[in-house]
């Protein structure tokens, strides 16, 4: 179980690095687009399309890492106010519902990607980008997100109550514990 969690978490972190580079590329391309358009007076044919695809790819590929960091939107008012055992049940229920949704999204993304690849779909722009390229991050990102949800559920049931309490306190001041 720990091996699975470690492997999936490492894969999520690798995708986060790829997402970071996609965002960096988008920033650089937007900078190039502004320079070419306003300083050189040139037309920009591919920059907007690339930037859109890069940001969407970063969103899907970065989602598993955001789950590890507990960065997804979460309304936990009810979870905080109940006893620890019921809190675990609520977390597990939310995790299973999220896993189901993400698995369905990954499946639908895979079907869409496969259809674009099989039919040779391209964008309706001058660059005619093969659409399987910008569609690939959706099934990859949501597929790994589903695996990460499984890892988080495994972690939830393998943690001790004290480990769970420290993990569930994202806004706690942990610097006090480190001071002498």
pLDDT digits (tens, 9 = 90+) for 64-89: 999 998 877 777 777 778 888 888 88
Q: What percentage of the chain carries pLDDT values higher than 70?
A: 89
Whether the pLDDT of residue 3 is over 90: the answer is yes
Q: What does the block give as tokens for 81?
A: 């106010």
Expressed in percent and rounded to 5, the helix, strand and coil fractions of the chain are 75, 0, 20
Confidence of residue 166 (pLDDT cuts 50, 70, 90): low
Query: What pLDDT, on the 0 to 100 scale, is given for residue 177?
Result: 47
C-alpha–C-alpha distance, residues 139 and 110, integer Å: 5
Q: Are 71 and 16 in contact (CB under 8 A)?
A: no
The tens digit of pLDDT for each residue in 99-116 reads 999 999 999 999 999 999
Name the packing angle between helices 2-34 and 137-158 (round to 10°): 140
């Amino acid at each position: 179980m720990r091996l699975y969690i470690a492997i999936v978490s490492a894969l999520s972190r690798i995708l986060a690095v790829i997402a970071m580079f996609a965002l960096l590329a988008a920033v650089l391309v937007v900078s190039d687009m502004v320079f070419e358009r306003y300083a050189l007076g040139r037309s920009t044919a591919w920059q907007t399309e690339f930037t859109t695809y890069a940001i969407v790819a970063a969103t899907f590929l970065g989602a598993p890492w955001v789950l590890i960091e507990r960065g997804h939107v979460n309304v936990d008012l009810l979870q905080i106010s109940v006893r620890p055992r019921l809190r675990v049940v609520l977390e597990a229920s939310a995790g299973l519902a999220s896993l189901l949704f993400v698995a369905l999204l990954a499946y639908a993304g895979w079907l869409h990607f496969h259809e674009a690849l099989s039919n040779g779909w391209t964008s309706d722009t001058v660059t005619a980008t093969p659409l399987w390229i910008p569609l690939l991050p959706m099934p990859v990102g949501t597929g790994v997100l589903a695996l990460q949800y499984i890892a988080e559920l495994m972690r939830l049931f393998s943690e001790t109550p004290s480990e769970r309490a420290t993990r569930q306190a994202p806004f706690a001041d942990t610097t006090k514990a480190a001071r002498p």
